[in-house]
Copies of this chain bind each other. A is one copy, B any other.
Amino acid sequence: MARNSSHSTGLRVQLPLLCFLLQAAIIILFSFFVQYNHETDSALWHHSNHSALDNDFYFRYPSFQDVHTMIFIGFGFLMTFLQRYGFSSIGFNFLLSAFSLQWSTLVQGFLHSFHEGKIYIGVESMINADFCTGAVLISFGAVLGKTSPVQLLLMSLLEVTLFGVNEFILLNLLGVKDAGGSMTIHTFGAYFGLVVSRVLYRSHLDKSKHREGSVYHSDLFAMIGTIFLWIFWPSFNSAPTNTGDGQHRTALNTYYSLGASTLSTFALSALLSREGKLDMPILESKFKVQDTCGVHNLHGMPGVLGALLGALVAGLATHQTYGDGLESVFPLIAEGHRSATSQAVYQLFGLFATLVLASLGGGIGGLLLRLPCLSSPPDSQCYEDQIYWEVPLEHEDEVQEHLRSEDTETQA
């Protein structure tokens, strides 16, 4: 039966081969190029006789751990709402993240912090690696259930690379500020994934329709992911900002914004839903991606909106509001290199560049994933753990029963 064949999903040969190749390449590149920075290298740190307190570790590690929880628990469990796809949601989330965090350290290192042939790493590298992984997981949400792990790894390889390029263009070339990763993470991740999903369009996906729903307990698992993403969002936004008032203010703003958004979401959910009932998935269903508009609503539109607001804020920035802090928020304005209006235009151009790069990248990614040598799950086996995982018997039985009843229906 095709359903049980490992060939159809490339697990037997392609996946191990790809994993080993990628990991070997990473190890070789790390050994040639990656070095401890002055805060993680024993000799360098002790040489300059710092107080332990000055080490960036104490300013950023607690926030990093919250971000790390969001990536692995938050995104991982968020996607468990599908009734038969919990293992894959968590497992592939795990696999893609483990790869992306390593690969993005190299890509970001080459592009942002390559000094005299070396990449110097510390806690900020970890935060940035997790951020890039976040963008990959947003795209993962757009193709969830319809792609094999081999396809997903290749998508990540491409996306991480282009993420680095886009970030380089925005932050280094255009001098754009990207608070909360509106453009580099949310907009880029969403539209890259949406275009991939578009290129992979399946006209007969309705054959897997019955597996797209959730079950009671799968929704509770998804709530674990949802809430961890929600509670640690202040850490996500504040982890990379300037120490002192910057981190503090960002965390505070995110905290109250989330509260206000939640109340509004409940109101809208009750107002708009059938029979006036609340829809648990309304908080998380945005990731239901058969029509992929989920990712669009949850990351694409908010990312674009955030970018537009960012441009507006830049256009209104004055010395009066920020005082001497303007230097750390909009240094180019503070130093007189740009007017506030000019900064706003650059912000808008950054958004435009992001949309272009994400769309082109997603298009190339989608075509890559359609290569005939890469098998993908058949239309009738989407959203199904059993083609990838050893599923405990109890559940497997149910699946078999379901498949038998389908067969009978088809014959009738």
Q: A392 and B231 in contact (CB under 8 A), knowing A6-B276, A47-B323, A266-B15? A: no
Determine the chain B residues whose CB is within 8 A of the CB of A259 once the complex forms: 98-99, 101-102
A41 touches B266 (CB 8 A): no
Contact B219 A217 (CB under 8 A): no
Which residues of B lie under 8 Å from residue A39 when comparing CB positions? 245, 248
Return A389 CB to nearest CB of chain B, in Å: 5
Is the beta-carbon distance between A11 and B264 smaller than 8 angstroms?
no
Type the 1/0 row for A54-92, where 1 means its CB is closer than 8 Å to any CB of B. 111111011101101100110011001001001100110
* Shortest Cβ distance from residue A21 to the other chain B in the assembled complex, whole angstroms: 9
Q: How far apart are A262's CB and chain B's nearest CB, in angstroms?
A: 4
Given contacts A216-B86, A252-B121, A390 and B277 within 8 Å (CB-CB): yes
The contact of A42 among B66, B87, B123, B326, by CB within 8 Å, is B326
Among B42, B247, B267, B388, contact of A19 (Cβ-Cβ < 8 Å): B267
B277 and A389 contacting across the interface, CB-CB below 8 Å: yes
Contacts of A237 in B (CB 8 A): none
Interface size class of A (residues with CB under 8 A): 35 or more
Using Cβ atoms and an 8 Å threshold, which residues of chain B touch A243? 52, 55
Contacting residues, chain B, for A221 (C-beta < 8 A): 217, 220
Most chain B C-beta atoms within 10 Å of own C-beta, residue among A36, A54, A58, A392: A392
B19 touches A263 (CB 8 A): yes
Q: Is A2 an interface residue (CB 8 A)?
A: no
A201-230: CB near B (< 8 Å → 1, else 0) gives 000000000000111111111011001101
Tell me how many chains of this kind the complex includes.
3
Q: Which of A22-30, A138-146, A178-186 contacts B (4 or more CB under 8 A)?
A: A22-30
Q: Are A11 and B245 in contact, with the CB atoms below 8 A? A: no
Contacts of A280 in B (CB 8 A): 87, 91, 389-391
Q: Is A395 an interface residue (CB 8 A)?
A: yes
Given the contacts A15-B267, A248-B39, A323-B47, A279 and B86 also touching, CB distance less than 8 Å:
no
Closest 4 CB pairs of A and B: A43-B323, A42-B325, A6-B276, A12-B276
Known: A217-B221, A277-B389, A281-B390. 16 other contacts (CB 8 A): A5-B275, A11-B270, A16-B271, A20-B267, A42-B246, A42-B324, A42-B326, A46-B327, A65-B66, A72-B231, A73-B228, A94-B283, A95-B262, A102-B256, A126-B255, A277-B387
26 contacts between A and B (CB under 8 A): A11-B276, A15-B266, A23-B260, A27-B260, A41-B249, A42-B246, A42-B325, A42-B328, A43-B321, A43-B322, A44-B245, A61-B63, A62-B65, A65-B235, A73-B231, A80-B220, A90-B220, A94-B262, A98-B266, A101-B255, A102-B256, A125-B252, A126-B251, A213-B393, A216-B392, A218-B392
